[in-house]
């Protein structure tokens, strides 16, 4: 098992909190975490693993930090 800190932003926090530590099986991908959190991959517009952008099929490692952002509006 690995532990990953998941940080949620904007409306992703609703009903989930600001951040959580998840215990996951080794080999779990970012996409699988989105599924566990019931977040559609199309809604996750910015996904950072340890501060770096990249594909959703990356495998997570122990002590990783995953940050998830929905679409950001503004003007």
For the chain, the domains span: 2-69
- Spatial strand order in the sheet of 52-53: 19-24, 2-8, 65-69, 46-49, 52-53
Q: Is residue 56 predicted with pLDDT exceeding 70?
A: yes
Distances 54 to 18, 25, 32, 66 between C-alpha atoms, Å: 22, 21, 15, 11
pLDDT for 72: 78
Does residue 59 carry a pLDDT above 80?
yes
pTM: 0.91
Check pLDDT > 70 for residue 10. Answer: yes
Whether the pLDDT of residue 46 is over 80: the answer is yes
Q: Give Dmax over CA atoms of the chain in angstroms.
A: 43
pLDDT band for position 74 (50/70/90)? Answer: low
The top-level CATH class assigned to 2-69 is: alpha beta
């Amino acid at each position: 098992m690995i532990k990953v800190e998941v940080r949620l932003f904007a409306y992703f926090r609703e009903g989930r909190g600001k951040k959580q530590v998840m215990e996951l099986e080794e080999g779990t991908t970012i996409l699988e975490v989105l599924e566990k959190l019931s977040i559609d991959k199309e809604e996750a517009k910015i996904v950072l693993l340890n501060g770096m952008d990249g594909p959703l099929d990356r495998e997570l490692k122990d002590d990783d930090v995953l940050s998830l952002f929905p679409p950001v509006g503004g003007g």
